Amino acid sequence: ETGVTQTPRHLVMGMTNKKSLKCEQHLGHNAMYWYKQSAKKPLELMFVYSLEERVENNSVPSRFSPECPNSSHLFLHLHTLQPEDSALYLCASSQEQGAEKLFFGSGTQLSVL
């Protein structure tokens, strides 16, 4: 248990669906991150939030829409996804942006049909 909780653990959605991934951290951290891990590929950084402000949008398509309502919660809203978006989506947090340690959740395994 790392103090970062992601829900749901598994999600299957059609290309026309809208769904949201949720991340919650109980560590009092000020920075939160979304990473994508596709099969056979390295982790890719998608978004970075620091003190609830987005500081990085790593050329991610607009069908992925992040939201950080407070420093403990991070959402990834999904709409009109493609099958190639199927991947493990990982949330992480750190004390502040640039802190030495990132704490990851267990991820949401997303399948787009």
Residue 45's CB is within 10 A of a number of other CB atoms, namely: 13
Amino acid identity at 9:
R
The total number of residues written for the chain in this structure: 113
Query: Judged by CB under 8 A, does residue 92 bind other proteins?
Result: yes
Query: Judged by CB under 8 A, does residue 31 bind other proteins?
Result: yes
Task: Tell me the longest C-alpha to C-alpha distance in the chain.
Answer: 39
CA–CA separation, 14 and 83 (whole Å) = 9
Dihedral sign computed on CA atoms, order 80, 82, 83, 87: negative
Closer CB to other proteins, 31 or 112, in the complex: 31
Query: Judged by CB under 8 A, does residue 66 bind other proteins?
Result: no
The minimum distance between CB 10 and other proteins, in angstroms, equals 11
CA–CA separation, 34 and 93 (whole Å) = 9
From 22, 52, 75, 104, residue interacting with other proteins (rule: CB under 8 A): 104
The minimum distance between CB 16 and other proteins, in angstroms, equals 29
Within residues 39-58, the interface with other proteins by CB under 8 A covers 42-43, 45, 48, 50, 55-56
Binding site for other proteins (CB under 8 A): 2, 4, 31, 33, 42-43, 45, 48, 50, 55-56, 90-92, 94, 97-98, 100-107
